[in-house]
Amino acid sequence: CVHLSATPESAVSPYACQRRTTLENHNKIFTEALEVLALNSEFSGNQGSCLGFRRAASVLKSLPAALRSPEEALRLPCLGDNSRAVLEEICECGSSSRVEEIQNDQRYRTMKLFCSVFGVGPKTAESWFCRGLKTFEQVLTEPSIRLNRMQTAGFLFYEDISVPVSRAEAAALKMMMEEALLFINPSATVTITGGFRRGKEFGHDVDFIIKAPEGQEDRILPAVIKRFKSQNVLLYSDFQKSTFDLRQLPNHRFEAMDRFSKCFLLVKLQMQESRTGRNWRAVRVDLVAPPLERFPYALLGWTGSTLFERDLRRFARLERGKLLDNHTLYDKTTVTLYHTLHYHSILFYAILLYIVQYNIVL
């Protein structure tokens, strides 16, 4: 265990995109507690406090060794008073009374349970909880509740979706995607993004980005859906047509979610044997198909993690005077939109270096 005082202060950046992170989390005891606090803040609609706890957890995850005392945390960025208080209590007592209180709280437990269903977010979960519902059975037998298509699929395949997807399963899905693209358009290619691209062994879904030939991006996802339907492997699909228009970009607020053609799917993955007695399991799959010219930005945006992406945008804005999102890089000072990739852009080189050099896992 390396003593953290040996680490120079400057080694820990306040930007997640400038921190070297690994698959090894030496501070799990702290980060798991902070994640409970973050989730609780999210459930209360307190986005600021939620982000604060997530930033603190991200800094601790990036450390090369376990924190040994609260004093060591004093030199770390992004740790607010609330996070520090929790670290202190855990260092002294081995656990945090606030975190335990939250974990025993009926509202928190119910919200967490409801939000674990595909298609159910904090607002829906809260409305169910406020009606006095606490279990899935109560939700499913409550006559006044009308589930939408996504939630219906979420409950129907809840058990399957709750089991983390392995790297081997992601690879099998990639082969299914490649087979579909070969049938639809052999010039199109598919790349795994999200957590698996960052080297994670398990994920809650599998994210893919499709590189379609120029001008074909809007046709490719409906064709994949059609192909999967014809193969009887599609359990659910929500296709969102592209609303991307490059001419509008400078007038738009830079959002977290992009406007490319995308779809959220539930597909059957063939298995040798299954707990349910079937020879397949349901897996969540997300697909995005940006225009060819926008591919590098979309690939970067879908690689994650969410906090890495958020900090990359913050870094671009505050340290480089540029606006970055999944569509483009936009120069605030010269009002220049980077229509095509400017390979001499310092930021773009920096981004490539982060991706190539660091094993980015949060």
Specify the 3-state DSSP secondary structure of 285.
strand
What does the alpha-carbon distance between residue 303 and residue 291 come to, in Å, rounded to a whole number? Answer: 17
Cβ-based nearer residue to Mg ion, 72 or 207: 207
When asked if residue 200 is in the footprint of ligand DCP (CB under 6 A), the reply is: yes
Contact flag: residue 327 with ligand DCP (CB under 6 A): no
Task: Sort strands 261-270 and 234-240 into parallel, antiparallel or unpaired.
Answer: antiparallel
Q: Which of residues 222-281 bind ligand DCP (CB under 6 A)?
A: 256-257
Residues in a beta bridge with 283: 267
Which partner, ligand DCP, Mg ion, none, binds residue 200 by CB below 5 to 8 Å per kind?
ligand DCP
State the minimum distance, in angstroms, from the CB of residue 140 to ligand DCP.
Answer: 26
Task: Write down the least CB distance from residue 196 to ligand DCP, Å.
Answer: 7
The token duo for 225 is 């859906």
- Rounded to whole angstroms, the Cα distance separating 124 from 148 reads 11
52 binds, among Mg ion, ligand DCP, none (CB under 5 to 8 A by kind): none
Q: With DSSP H G I counted as helix, E B as strand and the rest as coil, what are the percentages for the chain, rounded to 5?
A: 50, 15, 35
| Rg, the chain, Cα only | 22
290 binds ligand DCP (CB under 6 A): no
Cis peptide, bond prior to residue 305, ω within 30 of zero: yes
- Looking at the Cβ atoms of 52 and 203, the one nearer to ligand DCP is 203
Stretch that binds ligand DCP, among 76-84, 102-110, 141-149, 202-210 (CB under 6 A): 202-210
**Residue 207 touches ligand DCP, criterion: CB under 6 A:** yes
**Partner interacting with residue 2 (select from Mg ion, ligand DCP, none; CB below 5-8 Å by kind):** none
8 Å CB contact between 279 and 302: no
In angstroms, the CA 258 to CA 121 distance is: 19
Nearer to Mg ion, 50 or 173 (CB): 173
The H or E element spanning position 173 is helix 167-184
Q: Is the CB of 256 or the CB of 346 nearer to ligand DCP?
A: 256
Q: Which residues pair with 103 in a beta bridge?
A: none
Query: Is residue 15 near ligand DCP by the rule CB under 6 A?
Result: no
CB of 119 to ligand DCP, least distance (A): 14
Concatenate the DSSP letters of all residues of 174-195 into one string.
HHHHHHHHHHH-TT-EEEE-HH
Euclidean distance between CA atoms 169 and 166, whole angstroms:
5
85 touches, from Mg ion, ligand DCP, none (C-beta below 5 to 8 Å by class): none
Q: Which residue is nearest to ligand DCP (CB)?
A: 304
**Nearest distance from residue 334's CB to Mg ion, in Å?**
36
With CB under 6 A as the contact rule, the residue among 20, 98, 109, 204 that binds ligand DCP is 204
Enumerate binding residues for Mg ion (CB under 5 A).
194-195, 203, 205, 207
SS3 115: helix
Of 21-29, 64-72, 129-137, 200-208: span binding ligand DCP (CB under 6 A): 200-208
> Catalytic amino acids?
205, 207, 286
Q: Which amino acid is at 75?
A: R
Q: Examine residue 203 and tell whether it contacts ligand DCP (CB under 6 A).
A: yes
Q: Using the rule CB under 6 A, is 309 a contact of ligand DCP?
A: yes
Nearer to Mg ion, 52 or 304 (CB): 304
Query: How does 308-333 read in b/e, with b if 16+ C-beta sit within 10 Å?
Result: bbbbbbebbeeebebbbbbbbbbbee
List the one residue from 16, 304, 323, 351 that touches ligand DCP (CB under 6 A): 304
Q: Which is nearer to Mg ion, 150 or 249 (CB)?
A: 150
The two beta strands, 329-331 and 336-337, are antiparallel
The rounded distance, in Å, linking the Cα atoms of 260 and 212 is: 12
By CB under 6 A, name the binding residues for ligand DCP. 194-195, 200, 203-205, 207, 256-257, 301-302, 304-306, 309
